[in-house]
Amino acid sequence: MKTSGSHRTPKSQLLLRNRLLATINRATGIKCLLDDLLVEIKGITGCSVNAIRLLDETGNIPYRAHSGFVDGFFKLENALSIISDKCMCINVITGTADPQLPYYTPYGSFYMNATTNFLSTVADDEKGVTRNACSAFGYESVALIPIKSGAKIIGLIHIADQREDMVPLRLVKQLEGLTYDVGVAIERLVELDKIQNSEQYYRSLVDKVPAGYLVLDAEGCILEANLNLLEMIGCIRKDALSKAFIDFVAIERRALFREWVNRLKSQGECSFDCILNSKDGAHMEVSIAGRSDSTKDSRLWKAYCVVNDITQRKKAEQEIRNLATLPLINPNPIIQVTPEGVIVFANTAAKPVLECWHTRYGKTPPLYWQQAVHEVFRTGTMKTYELQHLGHVYDLKLFPVPELGFINIYGIDITKRLRQMEPHK
């Protein structure tokens, strides 16, 4: 069934191989390599259709580069799978071609120069299962050459033409002699592409973390930083990498930062509150939680850190502290009681009131005042009372705080004000 129709004389194999190696060496990625290879293959074959299929991890063999297909062929034939489909492409890529059959080579290639005649004259049991797509779209000359990397078949070169006798055996063998170099280069760049894609995926994940992310080496220099961290220190990535992180730490915290790094090396995990200075002079309070490698080799040691902006939290904590100290330093009596009347807080200025009530912290006021507390808590309405003690008069306001479960009693010594009002009575 092999044909030996006319075909242009190919260039010397050595020259072709040198050109192919040059193509491989200048490729910067898998797409670039396949596109350039397709140009070279088209120049070698002179066929209207030139394409490359690659086997992926799921068993699919899509065209990764192609040119010249008639309308409809690519859409129909692109999504083939070695798991679910049966055809000549599958036989070649899976290595199940029978070299004893006249249309297969010992290398495992399939070639045919008159597909219509082949389908009409060869018995079905000899042809095996075939989709006949190439013949259905008018391609009389078809060749499928496996692309190998070592012992593995990783894809194939598909050439076709609507003219007969366009893929003689010498052309097929010529392409077979080139596929080892092609296969090794393709596999290398496919793996490189996977690494680059995984790095890009990692980068996108890290940059989406709603906190700063930082990797330090044993000297405290920045090995990695996400966008949030770069924004905190006001740097772009290329300026930040390899820079000492301590340069961004406020001077008054640098000694503590060094201690924190040493603790990380000895303990493996610890946290540290720090002040960062960005390049534009802004200050930011942050919490750095770090975890380090367990290696004892300082050249391999790394610390992986999550950096959270706690500026607002620190401000809120300071406000809480300020508010908490106000009752203590307030010159007027402030007392806090439960609905049951138990005194749970009293500042220093409340001492005369407690003396008048003959009570203290943790105890209850007299029955009258307990009833007043109950009433205020029940109605949720503030009430005002007067208390006289040792010549002083106090205005006491009982203010309900139901959401906290307390009654706050705010007192003011109104003795002077009352005395000033007496001459006008």
Rounded distance, CA 216 to CA 218, Å? 7
pLDDT at 323: 53
The half-sphere exposure of 212 on its side-chain side, counting CA atoms within 13 A, is: 26
Q: Is the pLDDT of residue 25 over 90?
A: no
Two structure tokens written together for 138: 């008018």
Q: Is the pLDDT of residue 360 over 50?
A: yes
Start-to-end CA span in the chain (Å): 133
Q: Is the pLDDT of residue 9 over 70?
A: no
Q: Is the pLDDT of residue 129 over 80?
A: no
Interval 149-173: pLDDT, tens: 988 999 999 999 999 999 999 999 9
3-state SS, residue 1: coil
pLDDT at 322: 60
Q: Is the pLDDT of residue 122 over 70?
A: no
Q: Is the pLDDT of residue 328 over 80?
A: no
Nearest to 202 by CA among 224, 218, 229, 230: 224
Interval 283-311: pLDDT, tens: 899 999 999 987 777 788 999 999 999 88
Interval 52-87: pLDDT, tens: 999 999 999 999 999 999 989 999 999 999 999 988
**Cα distances (Å, whole numbers) of residue 311 to 256, 299, 385:** 18, 34, 43
pLDDT at 367: 94
In order, the DSSP letters of 104-151 are B-TTS-EEES-HHHHHHHS-HHHH-S---HHHHTT--EEEEEEEEETT
Nearest to 266 by CA among 303, 214, 300: 303
132 CA to centre of own chain: 45
- Are the CB atoms for 354 and 360 separated by under 8 Å? yes
Interval 171-225: pLDDT, tens: 999 899 888 888 888 888 888 888 777 777 777 888 888 899 999 999 999 999 9
pLDDT at 8: 43
Those residues with Cβ within 8 angstroms of residue 376's Cβ, 6 or more apart along the chain or in another chain: 382, 383, 398, 399, 400, 407
At 278, the pLDDT band (50, 70, 90 cuts) reads confident
pLDDT at 356: 95
Domains of the chain with CATH codes: 13-192 (3.30.450.40), 209-314 (3.30.450.20), 330-424 (3.30.450.20)
Q: Is the pLDDT of residue 7 over 80?
A: no
pLDDT at 137: 93
Q: Is the pLDDT of residue 244 over 70?
A: yes
How high is the mean pLDDT of the chain?
87
Q: In terms of C-beta density within 10 A (0-12 exposed, 13-18 middle, 19 or more buried), how is residue 294 classed? A: exposed
At 324, the pLDDT band (50, 70, 90 cuts) reads low
- Are the CB atoms for 347 and 330 separated by under 8 Å? yes
Interval 141-150: pLDDT, tens: 999 999 999 8
pTM score, two decimals?
Answer: 0.53
